[in-house]
Amino acid sequence: MSELHDECGVFGIFKNDESMNIVDETYLALYALQHRGQIGAGIAVNKDGNMKYFKGHGMIPEAIPESELNRLGKGKIALGHVKYSSGEAVDHENLAPLVMRYIKGQLAICMNGSITNFHELREELNQGAAIFQSNGDTEIIAYLIARARINAVSIEEAVREAVCKLKGAYAIALMSPSKLIAVRDPMGIRPLCYGKIGESYVVASESCVFDSLGGEFIRDVAPGEMIVIDEQGLHSYKVTESEKTALCLFEYVYFSRPDSVVDGVSVARARQRAGELLAQQHPVEADFVCGVPDCGIESAIGYSMASGIKYATGLIKNKYIGRAFNDRKKNNEYMMRIKLNALKHNVEGKRVIVIDDSILKGATSKHIVELLRAAGAKEVHMRIASPMFRNPCYLTSDTTPKEDLIASEKTNEEICKYIGADSLGFLSTESLPQIAKECKLNFCDACFTGNYPLDVSDTSRADKYSQKIES
């Protein structure tokens, strides 16, 4: 139950099956991506170059009422997006997809990730008298594409030129009047894949979308690759180069759904492996092991299998709240009490090992230990399926500053004391890559090690999205 904020999720579809309703398919896809963002969602649909869209705040049913789906009508290409706040004010202009008019008609675009040279690019565009409606990364990219398109021979060429100016982590989906385009950052930090539903092509942040839509996963988009889908089929281009790759390891720990496969590795299997490694690294005698829903469950199963200690349910999550409640900054303690409860019947009088995916601020872990003790647990041993989270992430949607990260200042023993557990153990940093050992990419582990894969000196979140007010 990470305190790290979620990622955004992107989706795109190019229809080749006459009977398909792509607005309905996009709507369903957003449900499959809901875990990646609950602050808002949007759909844009393209019929013969005319684009209609609807965006709203909240989780899918609230953000996009079903009545709006009819208004969006039918089309050939569609985009969908779920959003978590990237630190910017989440007013309507910052929701995606962004739909704009430019020299070649209309363009719609959405992304997941964070542009680390945001200030530099925005200033350059400001000097060219650009007028922005939002204060997010997506509009910067749209502007770069529009500007490049003036001289570029094609939209592909304009997108290539634009992304070559970007630094950072991104998975972008966009549509021109006749094409669906998806681009992944040169290090492959953010995930992106594509598949098919019948004869229609789809791109998505995660493979679980293809299962939800009854389609098939084809492959991950490679780092630095742009795929273009048009009436002639799918085309692939290498548009950016990097000497190294750096897939976000936190995709396996927390961001992605367990039924997704990210760059060749099952997320569920990666979490189970983390549990197996934890059992080797931090053994303890106990009556049963349980997981903090949702992301700690698979690791608890792995711990149980490796240690021989039985697995049982210790905590129950209220499934009818969702993380939106947290997103709206309601009272934290109140929110946690509504979200989780301990299963007294299983816990009372027992020595419990409880596994969670990560600890950021420590408040959630403290609450979990208190819940288990209040339910009568004799001992509570907390195990964390990732290393100590010591450094802010500048490459996702999260905005947690270093001073708020409990592991940036406290030792294992001090954190254990703070959360009130009998013992505490984190997965070792050295062993973390083993959870996804079949992955052909190298990893970003900067939140644990401080070794950022690229320069993040221009990414002060505090002022990235603040408006400069001058008279």
Parallel, antiparallel, or unpaired: how do β-strands 77-83 and 98-102 relate? unpaired
285 neighbors 277 (Cβ within 8 angstroms):
no
What is the nearest approach in angstroms of ligand SF4 to the Cβ of residue 249?
A: 5
Comparison of 350 and 390: residue with beta carbon closer to ligand SF4? 390
Question: Which spans of this chain sit near ligand SF4 (rule: CB under 6 A)?
Answer: 189, 248-250, 393, 395-396, 444-447
Sorted by sequence, the CB contacts under 8 Å of residue 199 that are 6+ apart come out as 16, 17
β-partners of residue 237 are 226
β-partners of residue 317 are 340
Least Cα distance to 390 among 376, 380, 372, 403 occurs for 403
Alpha carbons 462 and 470: distance in angstroms, whole number: 18
User: Which two tokens mark 353?
Assistant: 């090992």
273 neighbors 435 (Cβ within 8 angstroms):
yes
What is the nearest approach in angstroms of ligand SF4 to the Cβ of residue 250?
A: 4
Comparison of 395 and 427: residue with beta carbon closer to ligand SF4? 395
What is the nearest approach in angstroms of ligand SF4 to the Cβ of residue 215?
A: 27
Comparison of 40 and 191: residue with beta carbon closer to ligand SF4? 191
Write down how long the chain is. Answer: 471
Comparison of 228 and 432: residue with beta carbon closer to ligand SF4? 432
Q: 3-class DSSP state for residue 419?
A: helix
97 neighbors 44 (Cβ within 8 angstroms):
yes
Comparison of 206 and 422: residue with beta carbon closer to ligand SF4? 206
Least Cα distance to 114 among 185, 37, 56, 30 occurs for 185
What is the nearest approach in angstroms of ligand SF4 to the Cβ of residue 339?
A: 22
CB-hemisphere CA count at 13 Å for 257? Answer: 20
396 neighbors 402 (Cβ within 8 angstroms):
no
Least Cα distance to 261 among 219, 198, 297, 212 occurs for 219
Alpha carbons 69 and 289: distance in angstroms, whole number: 45
Comparison of 113 and 362: residue with beta carbon closer to ligand SF4? 113
52 neighbors 71 (Cβ within 8 angstroms):
yes
Alpha carbons 50 and 292: distance in angstroms, whole number: 46
What is the nearest approach in angstroms of ligand SF4 to the Cβ of residue 447?
A: 3
What is the nearest approach in angstroms of ligand SF4 to the Cβ of residue 256?
A: 11
Q: Which of 8, 295, 416, 444 is catalytic?
A: 8
Alpha carbons 211 and 217: distance in angstroms, whole number: 8
CB-hemisphere CA count at 13 Å for 148? Answer: 18
Comparison of 215 and 453: residue with beta carbon closer to ligand SF4? 453
What is the nearest approach in angstroms of ligand SF4 to the Cβ of residue 388?
A: 12
Comparison of 296 and 392: residue with beta carbon closer to ligand SF4? 392
Give, as one character, the DSSP assignment of residue 246.
-
8 catalytic residue (yes or no): yes
What number of H helices and E strands is found in the chain? 17, 23
β-partners of residue 228 are 181, 235
Annotated catalytic residues are: 8
